[in-house]
Amino acid sequence: MREELLTIKEKALAGMANANSMKTLEELRVAIFGKKGELTQILRGMGGLSAEERPIMGQVANEVREELEQALEARKNALHQAEMAQAMANEVIDVTLPGKAAKLGSRHPMTMIIEELCNIFMGMGYEIATGPDIETDYHNFQALNIPEHHSARDEQDTFYVEGGHVLRTQTSPVQIRKMEEGKLPIAIVAPGKVFRSDDIDATHSPVFHQMEGLVVDKGINMGHLKGALTVFARTLFGEDVKTRFRPHHFAFTEPSAEMDISCFGCGGDHAKMPTCRLCKGEGWIELLGCGMVHPNVLKNCGINPDEYSGFAFGMGLERIAMQRYNIDDMRLLFDNDIRFLKQF
Amino acid sequence: MNLPMSWLKDFVDIDVTLNEFADMMTMSGSKVEKIHHLGAEITNVVVGRIESVERHPDADKLVITRINIGNDEFRQIVTGATNIAQGDYIPVALHGANLADGLKIKKGKIRGVESEGMLCSVEELGHSRAEFPEAPEDGIYIFGEPQELGADARQVLGLLQDVVEFEITTNRPDCFSIIGLARETSATFNCELRITNYELEKPVTDRVAVEIRNDGLCGRYVAGVVENVKIAPSPQWMRARLMACGLRPVNNIVDITNYVMLEMGQPMHAFDIRAIGGNKIVVRNAEEGEKITTLDGMERVLDTDMLVIADEARAVGIAGIMGGEGSKIVDDTTTILFESANFNGVNIRQSSKKLGLRTDSSGRYEKGLDPNLSLACINRALELVKELGCGDVVEGLVDCYPNPRPKRELEFDPSKIADLLGIDVDGGKIAELLEPLGIKVNGNTAIIPTFRYDLEIWQDLAEEVARLYGYDNIPTIVAASSNVGGKTDRQRMEDKLVETMVSLGYSQMLTYAFESPKVFDKLLIPTDNVLRDVVKIKNPLGEDTSIMRTNPMNSILTALSTNYNRRNQNARLFELVKLYYPSLEGELPSEYEILVVGGYGNMDFYDIKGVVETLGSVFGLELAGQTNEFLPKPDAPWMHPGRSVAYRNLGHLGQIHPQVAENYEIGTPCYVAVIDFDLLRDQAEMVKAYRPLPRYPQIQRDLALVVKSDITHGMLSAEIRRAGGKILRDINLFDVYTGDKVAEGTKSMAYNLSFRADDRTLTDEEAAKATDKILKAVGDAFEAELRK
């Protein structure tokens, strides 16, 4: 019996080694371990052995079985690997063909810059406020301390519509609307479109964007204004950017200032400045107008200037966007050519 | 305002470089726009003396000169000039010189004779005889008196000037003058301001009379008379200063008025007294339609809001803007009347605007001048007349000043000022800062000089303090905010909308809110349609931008047209645009936000419909469960009637009417969708809630139904849904077939149906029963049959 077992083993091992497919291997498995398999038959015949022989032969038989099972499993794995390798070899594709990219659209660069600025100010605790495009004369001018016949009205070539209303020339009326709501303190920025009767060219458009900011609270002073706007400028243009505040004049702030940032082109380097096209030799670029809210403006909105003070600022956004995205002609922003828009 | 540094130094002594000066002035509130180095383009031109003039051997029209340029140096120069003689002092351009208009001088041979430079005319030095009236026509400039040989000719001619150009803000009319800027310089650099007090006593003359008939528009009128006037060019130093400020010299009298205007900020005028009948000046409103020919030779038609200077009979000038041709100073003028007056700034601005005539004078008046300047300025002018010796000043003036401007007194509370600025400075220091500006602090009061009427409240004083203290010296406070900040729900929904559209492949456009009234016809909008009721712009740039849009179609179609006509193969665009509708009298127009989407190229109706369906799902409109989402034939004449639908009450979508596409020159089908953002927002459900995953399996059945061609998916699916009952969870159309394999006039619609219950595993029998019911229902309703 022992010889029989060993013969089966040898034969089976040889068979496995020759089996070149899973199918042959499966046939072999059935021939050995199946109901009528050779090994199964032998094991069944164990009952006829003597009580002394049975454990000895049992052990031999188990060893043979285990060995064959392991060999079978190993061969199976090897064959499976080989088959997979073959399949993969057949599956080689041209990986240089283009991918199936989703066709994404794009946000308008003005939206992107507005979003970027809003995020900076939201991080500083500001809300985003909006107002109508068509404004009352009161909100656009009078409440901002620009009475009728004030020269500032001439500077802002205003579009008038019927009913004495105007297309807002600035985002500042949003300030007024926010203060009129009567909820204090206030910290807002208000991005939006403004309108002035300028003909369209590379640097002008009758429609452009501004962002207004307003903070009103008790004890606000010029130091707060400088602080907020310096943080803003550094966040937007990088830690190295320098700012300077210059006295200026606006009807709705007092004191008033303009904030310049060091030129991105020449960095205010006196050697490079004279030929710098960006700042035209000044070393500085005017970024925004700002100041402490004029007490008349607070009063117009029902806020007591002896109790509250605030600061406001406003800036044009096209120039920031054009600088950031290297756009040299403002008309591109309103042209809606898909080849331009797709670049963002 | 241009400030020649040499003129500034009449009033202050400063010892800083030009760049430092510009920086400091900018930071104290007088913004320097530019520094001009006048004369810098001219180089290597010196004063020379002609030692000899000889004939050129080979040219009749040329001479050979020997020029002494000092230090025992001589140059031989060949010239064609005929106005020169031995002993003349002339400007000589040496080898390597740069002259006006980029002309470069090099030595060379002229007709065989060595020439080492060029003798110059004023034109070659960049000027004209208007500025140098003593210069000959077509000839070399000859200095009137001996000069240092070899000296820089630019210096001698006063052409070399450093001029600082300032941007003056509208609140500072006083800085439109050399003295005003000198005062700022003195405050900025803390140096002494030297000004002469020209406010002499004012004896009265009876040579002329003045009557102000509208003292609201003319606050003061001072007149002085000069006799035995000898009209001639003004001296070179005066002309040089005027030129440095960008003014053309005219003659001594006119130059004096301009000189005083530049120096002190008060526009002046000189009349030939022969033109003033009865020697009486009347300041009055013009008559309607009154005509006057101004100095520039133009006839101007006036209206009653405009102020004129007149005699008893007729106008001789438009007040504050321009004098009349008939009263101007001419060569034979012998007696003149100087005017130094104060006019209402707003009125001057309006008149100047109406006349389309802006002058140096009106530009100053319109900012509002100090009436107390008038007297000092006329005295300064008369002083200059004496200095120039160009006439005899008649003793006495007429000064009509009905309502003198008083000095203003403001509350002075240093602690308020310090608090507003966020600085720690005491009252004494603040008063010290204000003093150079002419502001005197007296206890709790600050006394404001009348030339600073822009200072109205204590906050204005605070600005003066801040700018002299230095904005840069104010400590910066970065405060931690207690505000929460952030966006409103509406703003977040806008962001979501943009994000969704971008991920669907659409690019955001940016269009103008105004358009042409012609768009209604282009869009086939009937003449009585409410969309034609628009907000009109009263002063548009042109008709094409004269109305506020009531419909987003023109915006999207114009953008698509731009792309199509630039041969872009496809375009996908969107924008959240504003529409404007007129409101009741007095109220602001209503503004609505509308999403407009559009595209062409590689797309069809179902693409644009898919966009809307996606948006519906993003904004939680639960499309699938509804049956009346899309209704054919929207009320939109610009749409293709058979290929468009209304979407709920939110908008519409589909293909653009071919006629409209043609009107916009788009030669391919294009598709748009329009959704009212406010209504979408009302119906949106942005809060997501989890529903448990199904616990029991679903059963799927496929049904291919053959129906007549005109039966729509909408009709069939609604009936299937109704008949399927609540175990029918999903209907999915997966194929539509027309062709050989079905009868003509019919089509096959293949649906995949999913059945599921929440509380048990459905049996096949239940699903079969539901399917049978559906088949019967669609059979009864639409004669639908199961495809064999």
The whole-angstrom distance between B352's CA and the closest CA on chain A is 12
* pLDDT range class, residue A156, cuts 50, 70, 90: low
- The residue ranges of DSSP E strands in chain A, in sequence order, are 127-128, 134-135, 166-167, 186-195, 207-217, 243-250, 253-262, 284-293, 309-316
Encode pLDDT of B589-615 as tens digits.
Answer: 999 999 999 999 999 999 999 999 999
Q: Which residues on B lie below 8 Å from A327 (Cβ)?
A: none
d(CA B788, CA B778): 16
Strand partners, B90: B48
Q: Do A224 and B477 lie within an 8 Å CB cutoff?
A: yes
Mean pLDDT of B645-670: 95
Asked if B554 contacts B488 with a C-beta cutoff of 8 angstroms, the reply is no
Q: What pTM, to 2 d.p., does this model score?
A: 0.86
The whole-angstrom distance between B72's CA and the closest CA on chain A is 39
Q: Which helix (H) or strand (E) holds A16?
A: helix A2-18
Specify the CATH class of B209-400 in words. alpha beta
CATH of domain B408-473: 3.30.56.10
Is-same-fold flag (B2-39+162-189; B408-473)?
Answer: yes
Encode pLDDT of B338-394 as tens digits.
Answer: 999 999 999 999 999 999 999 999 999 998 999 999 999 999 999 999 999 999 999
The whole-angstrom distance between A93's CA and the closest CA on chain B is 28
Instruction: Nearest chain B residue to A124 by CA: give it.
Output: B481
Considering only CB atoms, B477 lies closest to which of A187, A206, A227, namely A227
Q: Do B476 and A149 lie within an 8 Å CB cutoff?
A: no
Q: Which helix (H) or strand (E) holds B364?
A: helix B360-365
Asked if B383 contacts B198 with a C-beta cutoff of 8 angstroms, the reply is yes
Encode pLDDT of B467-522 as tens digits.
Answer: 999 999 999 998 776 778 889 999 999 999 999 999 999 999 999 999 999 999 99
For residue A180 the two structure tokens come to 């009129």
The whole-angstrom distance between B316's CA and the closest CA on chain A is 27
Least confident range of A46-50, B123-127, B183-187: A46-50
- Is the predicted pLDDT of residue A265 greater than 80, yes or no? no
Mean pLDDT of B761-776: 94
Q: Do B349 and A339 lie within an 8 Å CB cutoff?
A: no
Q: Which of A47-51, B80-84, B150-154, B500-504 has the highest mean pLDDT?
A: B500-504
Q: Which helix (H) or strand (E) holds B361?
A: helix B360-365
Domain boundaries, chain B: 2-39+162-189, 43-159, 209-400, 408-473, 489-683, 699-786
Burial of A138 (0-12, 13-18, 19+ CB in 10 A): middle
Find how far residue B193's CA is from the centre of its chain: 36
Question: For residue B636, what is the DSSP state?
Answer: -
For residue B24 the two structure tokens come to 């400091």
- Is the predicted pLDDT of residue B200 greater than 70, yes or no? no
Q: Report the phi/psi class of residue A126: left, alpha or beta, with left for phi > 0 and alpha for psi in -120 to 50.
A: beta
Q: Do A128 and B466 lie within an 8 Å CB cutoff?
A: no
Instruction: Nearest chain B residue to A190 by CA: give it.
Output: B487
Instruction: Nearest chain B residue to A198 by CA: give it.
Output: B541
Closest by CA to A244, choosing from B476, B374, B460, is B476
The pLDDT, as a whole number, for residue B105 is: 92
Q: Do A336 and B482 lie within an 8 Å CB cutoff?
A: no
| Between B23 and B203, residue with greater pLDDT | B23
Range B2-39+162-189 classified under CATH 1.20.1600.10: no
- Rounded to 5 degrees, what angle do the CA atoms B453, B456, B460 make? 105
The pLDDT, as a whole number, for residue A62 is: 86
Superfamily holding B489-683: Bira Bifunctional Protein; Domain 2 (3.30.930.10)
Q: Which residues on B lie below 8 Å from A292 (Cβ)?
A: 420, 459, 462
The pLDDT, as a whole number, for residue A65 is: 87
Considering only CB atoms, A336 lies closest to which of B419, B474, B562, namely B562
Q: Do A133 and B513 lie within an 8 Å CB cutoff?
A: yes
Which residue's structure tokens are 């029989």? A4
Residue-wise DSSP of B278-326: GGEEEEEEPPTT-EEEBTTS-EEE--TTSEEEE-SSSEEEETTTEEBGG
- Is the predicted pLDDT of residue B624 greater than 50, yes or no? no
Question: For residue B550, what is the DSSP state?
Answer: S
* pLDDT range class, residue B202, cuts 50, 70, 90: low
Instruction: Nearest chain B residue to A121 by CA: give it.
Output: B485
Q: Report the phi/psi class of residue B29: left, alpha or beta, with left for phi > 0 and alpha for psi in -120 to 50.
A: left
Q: Which residues on B lie below 8 Å from A289 (Cβ)?
A: none
Considering only CB atoms, A247 lies closest to which of B29, B536, B559, namely B29
Q: Which amino acid is at B625?
A: G
Instruction: Nearest chain A residue to B479 by CA: give it.
Output: A224
The pLDDT, as a whole number, for residue B675 is: 96
Please, what is the end-to-end C-alpha distance for chain B in angstroms? 94
Q: Which amino acid is at B531?
A: L
Q: Which residues on A lie below 8 Å from B500 (Cβ)?
A: none
Burial of B268 (0-12, 13-18, 19+ CB in 10 A): buried
Dihedral of alpha carbons A297, A302, A308, A311, sign: negative
Instruction: Nearest chain A residue to B581 by CA: give it.
Output: A134
State the count of interchain CB pairs (< 8 A) between A and B. 231
- Number of residues that this document lists for chain A: 344
**Residue from A161, A256, A269 whose CB has the most chain B CBs within 10 Å, to mutate:** A161
Q: Which residues on B lie below 8 Å from A102 (Cβ)?
A: 503, 505
- Rounded to 5 degrees, what angle do the CA atoms B551, B555, B559 make? 160
Asked if A336 contacts A207 with a C-beta cutoff of 8 angstroms, the reply is no
Question: Coil, strand or helix: which one is A265?
Answer: coil
Mean pLDDT of A52-64: 85
Q: Do B481 and A125 lie within an 8 Å CB cutoff?
A: yes
The whole-angstrom distance between B686's CA and the closest CA on chain A is 20
Q: Which residues on B lie below 8 Å from A122 (Cβ)?
A: 485-487
In order of A133, B71, B372, B459, B513, the CA distances from B579 in angstroms are 10, 81, 53, 41, 8
The pLDDT, as a whole number, for residue B579 is: 97
Closest by CA to B229, choosing from B381, B340, B399, B341, is B381
- Is the predicted pLDDT of residue B330 greater than 70, yes or no? yes
The whole-angstrom distance between B120's CA and the closest CA on chain A is 31
d(CA A330, CA B104): 40
- Is the predicted pLDDT of residue B626 greater than 70, yes or no? no
Question: For residue B15, what is the DSSP state?
Answer: -
Q: Which residues on B lie below 8 Å from A257 (Cβ)?
A: 471
d(CA B713, CA B73): 106
Strand B74-79 relative to strand B670-676, pairing: unpaired
The whole-angstrom distance between A3's CA and the closest CA on chain B is 57
Q: Do A338 and B572 lie within an 8 Å CB cutoff?
A: yes
- The residue ranges of DSSP E strands in B601-745, in sequence order, are 630-632, 639-647, 651-656, 670-676, 699-708, 728-737
The whole-angstrom distance between B236's CA and the closest CA on chain A is 33
Dihedral of alpha carbons B410, B414, B417, B421, sign: positive
Asked if B97 contacts B117 with a C-beta cutoff of 8 angstroms, the reply is yes
Considering only CB atoms, A334 lies closest to which of B479, B512, B580, namely B512
* pLDDT range class, residue B724, cuts 50, 70, 90: very high
Instruction: Nearest chain B residue to A150 by CA: give it.
Output: B346
Q: Do B510 and A108 lie within an 8 Å CB cutoff?
A: yes
Q: Which residues contact B718 (CB under 8 A, 6 or more apart)?
A: B627
Encode pLDDT of B90-122 as tens digits.
Answer: 999 999 999 988 899 999 999 989 999 999 999
Asked if A249 contacts B170 with a C-beta cutoff of 8 angstroms, the reply is yes
The whole-angstrom distance between B507's CA and the closest CA on chain A is 4
Q: Report the phi/psi class of residue A164: left, alpha or beta, with left for phi > 0 and alpha for psi in -120 to 50.
A: left
Q: Which helix (H) or strand (E) holds A140?
A: helix A137-140
Strand partners, A309: A217
Share of chain B above pLDDT 70, in %: 98
Considering only CB atoms, B588 lies closest to which of A130, A134, A159, namely A134
Considering only CB atoms, B508 lies closest to which of A107, A126, A134, namely A107
The pLDDT, as a whole number, for residue B117 is: 93
Instruction: Nearest chain A residue to B487 by CA: give it.
Output: A128
Q: Do B478 and A103 lie within an 8 Å CB cutoff?
A: no
Question: Coil, strand or helix: which one is A21?
Answer: coil
Encode pLDDT of B400-428 as tens digits.
Answer: 999 999 999 999 999 999 999 999 999 99
The whole-angstrom distance between A303's CA and the closest CA on chain B is 16
The pLDDT, as a whole number, for residue B199 is: 66
Considering only CB atoms, A254 lies closest to which of B460, B513, B578, namely B460
- Is the predicted pLDDT of residue B535 greater than 60, yes or no? yes
Instruction: Nearest chain B residue to A292 by CA: give it.
Output: B420
Which residue's structure tokens are 């606006």? A250
Mean pLDDT of B658-686: 94
Q: Do A255 and B541 lie within an 8 Å CB cutoff?
A: no
Instruction: Nearest chain A residue to B486 by CA: give it.
Output: A127
CATH of domain B699-786: 3.30.70.380
- Rounded to 5 degrees, what angle do the CA atoms B308, B311, B316 make? 50
Q: Which fold has domain B43-159?
A: OB fold (Dihydrolipoamide Acetyltransferase, E2P) (2.40.50)
Asked if B229 contacts B341 with a C-beta cutoff of 8 angstroms, the reply is no
d(CA B403, CA B160): 45
Q: Which residues contact B446 (CB under 8 A, 6 or more apart)?
A: B409, B410, B411, B412, B434, B439, B440, B461
Tell me what the pLDDT averaged over chain B comes to. Answer: 92
In order of A284, B190, B776, the CA distances from A7 in angstroms are 97, 119, 72
**Residue from A108, A174, A200, A254 whose CB has the most chain B CBs within 10 Å, to mutate:** A254
Q: Do B349 and A151 lie within an 8 Å CB cutoff?
A: yes
